[in-house]
Amino acid sequence: MDVTRDKALRCICVKSRSAVDLLHGLATTRSIRRYTDDPVDPDDLRSILWYAGRAPSGSNRQPFRFLVLRDGPDARRAKSLLGDAFRSGWNAKREADGYRPSRFADSMQRYVDRFESIPVVILVCLDRYREPDPTEGASVYPACQNLLLAARAHGYGGAMTMWHLGVESELRELLGIPSNVGLSACITLGVPEGSHGPVRRKPLDEIVFDDRWEAPADWVDGSTEEPQ
Ligand SMILES: Cc1cc2nc3c(=O)[nH]c(=O)nc-3n(C[C@H](O)[C@H](O)[C@H](O)COP(=O)(O)O)c2cc1C
């Protein structure tokens, strides 16, 4: 088989997938942790990051930075550090939360076991201009969500994770990340092996109050169906 041609064809297929409706995308974009071996096309990646960068931030300071790990030498070293951190993170969570064998546990195990082969890993960073503040994440997480939604629109899938924190100091040293920059999230991206949605979320009447704390809103119901 001509591997280069095959990859090129798969790239074209990914690029030609049509964008999903915005509201349907919001309703069905879930964490994707199973990826095919297909690459993320650089044009798609540029577009995904462009949309991520359109996110709002306090005073429009745009402190978010995207450190993209693909297949350069430092990226490979970083992915190897991250792979170990993800395996430890999942091991600890599986023990602590008492996960039994299940589809979810299997897919998590596969995710961490194959971490190094994930095509694109993005460290979403916060370039601080003042002392760390409890609300500072509000200027970077909207960009993360934009990124995940834009990836979805381009036919990719991703997961936002925090297990990079286990090797934060090693990553800082390896990748030259200054001390004033926070490592807010680690997003993995690839072509989904499964499909998106539907997501499992609480019904609206559990999360919306009207007028007073915990006062029910009689204009919402307990349905979890996507509104028409
Ligand atoms: C702040 C935050 C931290 C998360 N950390 C991790 C993580 O460390 N590892 C992981 O596999 N998923 C992580 N996730 C993904 C969540 O587990 C996932 O969004 C949630 O279980 C709902 O599943 P869904 O996105 O598939 O609907 C994180 C998500 C958020 C928003």
Is residue 178 one of the residues assigned to a domain? Answer: yes
| HSE value, Cβ hemisphere, 13 Å, CA-based, for 223 | 8
Q: What stretches in the chain show pLDDT beneath 70?
A: 1-18
Is residue 120 one of the residues assigned to a domain? Answer: yes
Is residue 13 one of the residues assigned to a domain? Answer: no
Is residue 52 one of the residues assigned to a domain? Answer: yes
Alpha carbon of 20 to those of 41, 47, 150, 160, 191: distances in Å? 18, 15, 10, 20, 15
**114, 122, 148, 162, best to mutate for ligand 1 pocket (most atoms within 8 Å of CB):** 162
Is residue 70 one of the residues assigned to a domain? Answer: yes
Q: What is the pLDDT of residue 53?
A: 98
Taking CA atoms only, the protein residue closest to ligand 1 atom 20 is 31
Q: What is the CATH number of the domain that holds 99?
A: 3.40.109.10
Is residue 132 one of the residues assigned to a domain? Answer: yes
Domain around 72: 19-197
Taking CA atoms only, the protein residue closest to ligand 1 atom 18 is 31
pTM of the entire predicted model: 0.92
How many structural domains comprise the chain? Answer: 1
The pair of structure tokens assigned to 185 is: 């999230």
**31, 141, 196, best to mutate for ligand 1 pocket (most atoms within 8 Å of CB):** 31
Q: What is the pLDDT of residue 228?
A: 85
In angstroms, the CA 183 to CA 127 distance is 9
Place of tokens 């030609």: 16
For residue 144, the ligand 1 atom closest to its alpha carbon is 31
